Amino acid sequence: MRWTIKEEPNPQTVHHLSKELSIDPILGKLLVQRGITSFDEAKRFFRPNLDELHDPFLMKDMKKAVERIQKAIDNQENILVYGDYDVDGTSAVSLVFSYLKKDTENISTYIPDRYEEGYGISFQGIDFASDNDVSLIIALDCGIKAIEKVDYASEKGIDFIICDHHKPGEQIPEAVAVLNPKKEDCSYPYDELCGCGIGFKLVQALGKTKGETIQDLLPYLDLVAIAIAADIVPITGENRILAFYGLQVINSTPREGVKAIIHQLKKSTLTITDVVFIIAPRINAAGRMKHGNYAVQLLIESNFEAALTYAKEIDAYNTHRKEVDLEITQQALQQIKEAQEEENSTTVVYRENWHKGVIGIVASRLIETYYRPTLVFTKSGDKLAASARSIRGFDVYNALQQCSEHIEQFGGHKYAAGLTLDPKKYDAFKQAFEQVVSKTIPEEQLIPEIKIDSELDLSTITPKFFRILQQMAPFGPGNMKPIFKTTSVRDNGYGKKVGADETHLKLNIIYGADRKTYGAIGFGLGDKYELIQNDFDIVYSLDENEWNGYKSIQLVLKGLK
């Protein structure tokens, strides 16, 4: 692993800001690294303000979308809220449905079946709408490339409003309104919203026309925060404001479905990390193992007892998902070994009976071992379907674009994408993908990197220092949790491997002339046990550890040397 210390920001700017805010220079440095250089910018960062959310009508086609929805409500038309089966899609559907449900009874939801229909808008979904006399479909977290599907719906007298955040193609569907800040002709000030975020902007615009304030819409922000965390979009600008207040809703007055998930966790206060690793996988498990409808039912349920039943079912799906993805990961690792492809610049694996619902997770797990752009294929009908995942700094979507002659369809982001292809083209695609990546990726990029914000003397970690650090949350892309480096520390002699299979490392680190000890945990670092017999260097983040009601600051180790 490469340890890279970030470039030192201007020392005068750091000094000036630290003085102005009366904070430790290390904290001042962290802020300047995040582009915060003045008192006012720091105030906006530490105290996100709902009033600073952009006017939703700045988004191209928003007025058209609001007018069409209003017309549908006034004329008692049947509306179908349609979304993808992942967390972003199911959260967006739940949000828009629960908001519109207050104004019309003629509304229903539709989540495509991952296996029967695949990703995005399907002909089957449009036929369902037609059979049920739906005249307006609101598509969330999908639809930006659904040219033929929207035309097909139009022939059946069904209008479309598309709310999507994926990269548009050269052609935009002929929908009544297409809300997507990534469109070239859209001048909306922030283009990193997730699908649920765009759904919220639609709701915000509808609310504005009815004289509602942002305070009236606060109850919907638990869903937005969950989608922001799960979809790994930058937690900057509007996303930071929405995630900040959404977390407050999750921790104080969440909807019954979210409350039911939290009820099973026995955890008092949830962070964005908890949302990513605890809440999101459970919601996702419904679409992966059974059907995304289960997630929507949970998230729109208003009765807590009923929500608890759904939450238990979804928890069981999640447990099953873990077993399946572990088994497939082991098979995939074996396949790479047997094919002697450890030295490739890419990982591409395929087995026809692998569970389509977990291949994205498996791709991420393979990156943990081999750290390179990865695709995991399985059979889907008479086609092959794959999930692609990438490594830091490499645009896998762009690489797939360069292999498009072998692909039937694909879509996604820089770091995650999905595609389908003809089985006959698998070998040619695999070869082309390896060729494209090996030509464009620098060798050092294939070595995992830890970016270190600053070196730190452990004696700097006071309760005040930690409190201010915590106020920099929510953390995520664009505002990652600060990583520190400290050199020449020792273990107090009681360091040990922990966990059922001894994969983790638990230490009490001694540092400095006063020989003060600091509790530390290194997840997945059990194999570094030999290094703690002498002095060693550490990189780590800081967290709060709660044990038997006692809270303490803990070093969460990312690496040892």
Q: Which CATH architecture has domain 2-6+450-560?
A: Beta Barrel (2.40)
Contact 259, 241 (CB under 8 A): no
pLDDT above 80 (res 98): yes
Residue 424: exposure state from Cβ atoms within 10 A (0-12, 13-18, ≥19): exposed
Tell me how far the alpha carbon of residue 474 is from its chain's centroid. 13
The per-residue pLDDT for range 473-491, each reduced to its tens digit, is 999 989 999 999 999 999 9
What would the two tokens of residue 257 be? 């479905």
What DSSP designation does 218 have? G
Residue 501 banded pLDDT, cuts 50, 70, 90:
confident
Q: Which residues, 6 or more positions from 56, have their beta carbon under 8 angstroms from its beta carbon?
A: 62, 201, 202, 204, 205, 208
> Above pLDDT 90, what percent of the chain?
84
Question: What pLDDT shows up at residue 83?
Answer: 96
Does position 267 have pLDDT exceeding 80, yes or no? no
Average pLDDT, the chain: 94
pLDDT of residue 341: 80
- How far is the C-alpha of 521 from the C-alpha of 558, rounded, in Å? 9
Q: What are phi and psi of 102, to 5 degrees?
A: -70, -25
Report CA-CA distances (Å) from 159 to 135, 142, 174, 178, 546.
6, 15, 9, 12, 53
Of the candidates 451, 147, 108, the one whose C-alpha atom is nearest the C-alpha of residue 300 is 108
Helices 25-33, 463-470: inter-axial angle, 10-degree rounding:
10
Q: Is the pLDDT of residue 513 over 80?
A: no
CA distances in angstroms from 194 to 166, 200, 216, 398, 403, listed in the order given: 9, 10, 21, 20, 27
Q: What kind of fold does domain 56-314 have according to CATH?
A: inorganic pyrophosphatase (n-terminal core) (3.90.1640)
Average pLDDT over residues 89-94: 97
Query: Assign residue 441 a region: left if phi > 0, alpha if psi is -120 to 50, beta otherwise?
Result: beta
Instruction: Please answer whether residues 75 and 134 qualify as being in contact, where contact means their C-beta atoms are separated by less than 8 angstroms.
Output: no
Q: Which of 61-65, 166-170, 359-363, 365-369 has the lowest mean pLDDT?
A: 166-170
pLDDT of 342:
78
Residue 55 has pLDDT above 80, yes or no: yes
**Model pLDDT, residue 31:** 97
Cα separation of 120 and 182, whole Å?
Answer: 18
Question: What pLDDT digit, counting tens, does each position of 436-467 carry?
Answer: 999 999 989 999 999 999 999 999 999 999 99
Mean pLDDT of 324-330: 95
| Mean pLDDT confidence for 12-21 | 96
What is the model's pLDDT at position 332?
95
pLDDT band at 24; cut points 50, 70, 90 = very high
Domain boundaries of the chain, sorted by first residue: 2-6+450-560, 56-314, 339-446
> Domain 339-446 adopts which CATH fold?
Diaminopimelate Epimerase; Chain A, domain 1 (3.10.310)
Pairing of strands 383-389, 374-380: antiparallel
Do 156 and 134 contact (CB within 8 A), yes or no?
no
Q: What is the mean pLDDT of residues 299-314?
A: 95
pLDDT score at 388? 95
Residue 411's pLDDT is 81
245 burial via Cβ count (<10 Å: 0-12, 13-18, 19+):
buried
For the chain, the C-alpha Rg in angstroms (whole number) is 25
Please report which confidence band the pLDDT of residue 116 belongs to, taking 50, 70 and 90 as the band edges.
confident
- 169's CB contacts (< 8 A; 6+ apart) are 144, 145, 147
DSSP string, 383-413: EEEEEEE--TT--HHHHHHTTGGG-SEEEE-
* Residue 288 pLDDT > 90: no
Q: Residue 514 — pLDDT band, cuts 50, 70, 90?
A: confident
